[in-house]
């Protein structure tokens, strides 16, 4: 049988862009238009058409305000995991603030639906050497896997492991499922989600996943509801952020559909063989 790859969605709305507090201040979030429900409905339609289950990393802020959305993910058999509460990068928080953010996010999800939560994904892949303290907090919160590292010099460390592995600390152990990358000379290149997926030619992504699967490793593909927006709002962002957020955004739905036609996908818990405990 074909290899099982992980398909994941970071459930956040169009204004959850990291580090642009001056442009999209948190105090205004509640006044902004809700577009996440509509965009997630498009994702759910696509997944239904391909009979595929995925992992939804739900932001606590979204779960609090859209409990029906979380219930629909759950009732359709998808895995619910957490993306934190306020979409803060880990290095912008103290360990105590991270603990509070994680606890609030899990509580908000559990108020929406009674389901086990096994996984966490940090905003912008910010579990790094500097924020390695997060693993103890994730373990103490009962989580069984994290999917927040990227073996890339610019955002993490090019020497980080590139395939799922177990992290062991004095508090216990936890799986880490890093962002999928391709090794090229001394650096790794991501190509399965976000701006890297949008910029990579489709054949390049397909060949990369095929090669990985032939080596016996699963790929991890990720997407965001705002990449499925048919009429994305124009956000006044600084140029670098604008490029990262919007460049080739409309290419994502057809690329994801193309991958669904070519590969077998499932939620991370199934790829790692985890039975969620609570």
Stretch that binds Zn ion, among 10-18, 33-41, 206-214, 246-254 (CB under 5 A): 10-18
Q: Is 15 helix (H, G, I), strand (E, B) or coil?
A: coil
Q: Which residues, numbered 192-221, are part of the site for Zn ion (CB under 5 A)?
A: none
Element (H, E) at 109: helix 95-112
Total of chain residues touching Zn ion, rule CB under 5 A: 3
Q: What are phi and psi of 79, to 5 degrees?
A: -85, 135
Determine the Cα–Cα distance for residues 111 and 64; give it in Å rounded to an integer: 8
Considering only the stretches 7-15, 173-181, 236-244, 247-255, report the one whose residues sit in contact with Zn ion under the rule CB under 5 A.
Answer: 7-15
Site string for Zn ion, 97-126 (x = CB under 5 A): --------------------------x---
Q: What angle do CA 32, 11, 24 make, to 5 degrees?
A: 30
CB contact burial 95-114 (16+ within 10 A = b; e otherwise): eeebbebbebbbebbbebbe
Between residues 12 and 99, which has the closer beta carbon with respect to Zn ion? 12
Q: How far apart are CA 43 and CA 163, in angstroms?
A: 26
Q: How far is residue 125's CA from residue 158's CA, in Å, rounded to a whole number?
A: 13
Q: Which is nearer to Zn ion, 88 or 212 (CB)?
A: 88
Element (H, E) at 60: helix 60-65
Q: Which is nearer to Zn ion, 99 or 124 (CB)?
A: 124
- Least Cβ distance, residue 60 to Zn ion (angstroms): 12
Restricted to residues 228-267, the positions that interact with Zn ion (CB under 5 A) are none
Query: Please, which residue, 36 or 137, has the CB nearer to Zn ion?
Result: 36
Closer to Zn ion at the Cβ: 179 or 212? 179
Residue nearest to Zn ion (CB): 10
Could you say which of 8, 10, 35, 245 contacts Zn ion (CB under 5 A)?
Answer: 10
Q: Name the site residues for Zn ion (rule: CB under 5 A).
A: 10, 12, 123
């Amino acid at each position: 049988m074909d290899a099982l790859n992980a398909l994941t969605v970071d459930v956040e709305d169009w204004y959850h862009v990291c580090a642009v507090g001056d442009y999209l201040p948190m105090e205004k979030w509640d006044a902004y238009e809700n577009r996440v429900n509509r965009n997630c409905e498009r994702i759910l339609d696509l997944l239904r058409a391909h009979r595929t289950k995925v992992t939804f990393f739900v932001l606590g802020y979204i779960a609090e305000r859209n409990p029906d959305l979380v219930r629909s993910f759950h009732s359709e058999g998808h895995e619910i995991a957490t993306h934190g509460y306020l979409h803060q990068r880990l290095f912008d928080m103290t360990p105590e603030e991270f603990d509070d953010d994680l606890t609030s996010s899990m509580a908000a999800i559990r108020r929406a639906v009674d389901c086990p939560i096994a996984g966490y994904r940090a905003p912008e892949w910010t579990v790094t050497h500097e924020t390695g303290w997060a693993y103890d907090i994730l373990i103490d919160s009962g989580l069984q896997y994290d999917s927040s590292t990227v073996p890339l010099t610019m955002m993490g460390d090019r020497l980080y492991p590139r395939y799922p592995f177990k992290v062991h600390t004095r508090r216990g152990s936890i799986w880490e499922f890093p962002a999928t990358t391709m090794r090229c000379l001394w650096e790794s290149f991501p190509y399965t989600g976000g701006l890297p997926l949008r910029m990579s030619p489709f054949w390049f992504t397909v060949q990369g996943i095929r090669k990985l699967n032939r080596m016996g490793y699963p790929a991890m593909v990720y997407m965001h509801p705002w990449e499925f927006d048919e009429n994305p709002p124009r956000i006044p962002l600084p140029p670098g952020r604008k490029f990262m957020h919007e460049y080739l955004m409309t290419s994502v739905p057809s690329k994801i559909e193309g991958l669904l036609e070519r590969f077998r996908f499932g939620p991370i818990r199934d790829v790692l063989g985890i039975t969620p405990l609570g």
